[in-house]
Amino acid sequence: MKTKQRVSDLRALSEDQLSEELLKLKKEQFNLRFRRATGQLEDTSRVRVIRRDLARIKTIAAQSRDQQQG
């Protein structure tokens, strides 16, 4: 996603969809890190947005797992 993800939208996703989104963001984070290292990255704020989206998805996934267990 190009914009910040809303928590309500992420909570509506299934566990499989969350893991797909997580994988997609990790790939994008890798590509951004690579482009930053080679000096080709223009939008440096995107790195921060991706990092926070990853944390947001991991948090929601953990909360849903905890909710299902107990």
Q: Would you give per-residue pLDDT tens digits along the chain (70 residues)?
A: 455 668 889 999 999 999 999 999 999 999 999 999 999 999 999 999 999 999 999 999 999 999 888 7
Buried b (16+ CB within 10 A) or exposed e, 2-40: eeebeeeebeebeeeebeebeeebeebbeebeebeeeee
Q: pTM of the prediction? A: 0.85
Q: How far apart are CA 24 and CA 69, in angstroms?
A: 27
DSSP 8-state symbol, 12: T
Set out the domains of the chain in order of their start, with CATH numbers. Answer: 7-69 (1.10.287.310)
Burial of residue 53 (number of CB atoms within 10 Å: 0-12, 13-18, 19+): buried
